[in-house]
Amino acid sequence: MLQQEFRFLIVSFDGLRPDLIGPTLTPNLCRLKAAGVTLASHRTVYPSETRSAFPSLVTGATTDRHGMVGNKYVDRSVMPPCYIDTSDALLLRRLDLESGGHLYSAPSLGEILAASRRSLAVLATNTPGTTRLFHHKAEDFGHVRLSGHFREACTPDGVLAEIETCIGALTPVPPKKEPDRIGQDWITSAFLDVVWPKYRPDVTILSYGEPDVTSHFHGTGAEATRSIIAHCDQQFGRVFDWWEAEGRQAGVQIFAISDHGHITGHTRVAVTDSLRAAGFSPGVAPAPDVDVVVVPGQVGALYLADPDEAKVARLVGTITSEPWCGPVFTRANDEVNGIAPGSLSNRLVFADHVRAPDIAFSFRADNSIDPFDLVGGTFYDNDRRAGLGLHGGLHPKELGALGIVAGSAFANIGSASSLPSGICDVTPTILHLLGIDAPPTMGGRVLHELLQPASRPKIRCRDEIFAARLGSYKQVLRRVAVGNTRYVESGTADN
């Protein structure tokens, strides 16, 4: 098959743990596994948050290169500094325009395809901000970007009107505690009934926003979560039926992915209380009386009003004395250590960006078994009960992600690849198959070991371990290198 005949469909299941895939719960993903290759050591980036991971998908880069350092961050490029919540699609558009098109610090898949007169279509049921981040410049190129719920994330207006006439109006967002079935149905029908037959995008991202939300409100292995996983798999089954009947013949290659996994919160804490007791004046947004901003979320992000080294070190000393504190990162002092004793360099987790917090930390996680017999527990800081799904940190079950590929470009059908791979590798592999040069900002690698012809290249892997200590506190970060590409495997800490 000629390179120009390839088209690509990336199907994402937000927050789906790979160990929940099985013939009873997800028979259609199992059909895909039988028709393709499973990436058995597939990972996301740090922080393991949606609006860091999906930018990594479309830029082929880690957060230090694309700049989406978390679901939320503090922008200190403006005065006074302001709190940014990237779930807001209108805010993201304004930030991109005000920055002269530099919302991302790296070119994204939609921009790269447009420069080669190709197209990217997005259909998603994630937040409006996440939907925009898949292709934040879609309206500039006339590309299709559709939300199953949020009109402000949709473009062009004419395509949305056409789809609403064909399959029905955008669906209302269900209450957060109610699994979102109708949205998954809408985007699947929109792709199958209108977007593919009429527009035939070169690359399509079909993003199911579940089971992430249901896991957050019911638990990762709860009946409600398993039910929405099964429902998303049924919708994917419609897509797989189309692929077997038509898409495969048309040269469509499928990537099935997730952006992160989940572990279970077991012990609730209050970071601001700990900091206040130590003499700090914490807040959740910049303000005159706030000396440290504690960005809400499961991955800790601390921004000091005055981030000199002594104050960073004092703050690191405070949090590392707490039982809830996991791995801690600050700006680099050398190749391994951060500027504060006990911290590691944020370069080790590819989080060194101008938007990065002065101190990034993960809540301490462990391998405890939750009520659903799933491995992985953690301290957490939010107003929900224990026993619910969480992500953002460095536990292997948070970093572990679904990865399956299928299509004529791939060899060894029905097998599993044990070589480490990651979410940053998807776009470089697609560009390689399209014959488009990847920009130097892409740190992900082409997954040559999966491609036709079936000869398996010799790729060297090596483990990397880094440690730091402060008093009784000790942390260990583990990475694996595949050639020149590095993947974060886990981070642990104990006292």
Residue by residue, DSSP assigns 150-205 as -GGG-B-HHHHHHHHHHH-SPPPPPPTTS---HHHHHHHHHIIIIIIIII--SEEE
pLDDT of residue 2: 40
CATH 3.30.1360 residue spans of the chain: 265-383
- Protein fold of 3-264+396-450: Alkaline Phosphatase, subunit A (3.40.720)
Report the alpha-carbon distance of residue 191 to residue 383 in Å, rounded: 37
458 pLDDT exceeds 90?
no
Residue 294's alpha-carbon distances to 20, 73, 129, 284, in angstroms, are 33, 10, 21, 5
Question: Can you tell me which residue has the tokens 């290759």?
Answer: 37
Query: What average pLDDT score do residues 75-104 get?
Result: 96
pLDDT digits (tens, 9 = 90+) for 466-480: 999 999 999 999 999
pLDDT digits (tens, 9 = 90+) for 307-336: 999 999 999 999 999 999 999 999 999 999
pLDDT of residue 4: 44
Confidence of residue 455 (pLDDT cuts 50, 70, 90): low
Residue 358 near residue 53 (C-beta atoms within 8 A): no
Residue 203 near residue 118 (C-beta atoms within 8 A): yes
Q: List Cβ neighbours of 323 (8 Å cut-off, separation of 6 or more).
A: 364, 379, 495
CA-wise closest residue to 28 among 15, 40, 42, 13: 13
Beta bridge partners of 325: 363
Q: What are phi and psi of 225, to 5 degrees?
A: -70, -45
pLDDT of residue 234: 98
Which of 171-180, 255-264, 451-460 is predicted most confidently? 255-264
CATH 3.40.720.10 residue spans of the chain: 3-264+396-450
pLDDT of residue 97: 97
Report the alpha-carbon distance of residue 134 to residue 155 in Å, rounded: 13
Please state which architecture CATH assigns to domain 265-383.
2-Layer Sandwich (3.30)
pLDDT digits (tens, 9 = 90+) for 420-446: 999 999 999 999 999 999 999 999 999
pLDDT of residue 456: 66
Query: What average pLDDT score do residues 258-267 get?
Result: 98
pLDDT of residue 1: 36
Query: What average pLDDT score do residues 374-383 get?
Result: 98
415 pLDDT exceeds 90?
yes
234: buried, middle or exposed (CB in 10 Å: 19+, 13-18, 0-12)?
Answer: middle
Report the alpha-carbon distance of residue 287 to residue 145 in Å, rounded: 36
3 pLDDT exceeds 60?
no
Beta bridge partners of 334: none
Query: What is the rounded average pLDDT for all residues in the chain?
Result: 97
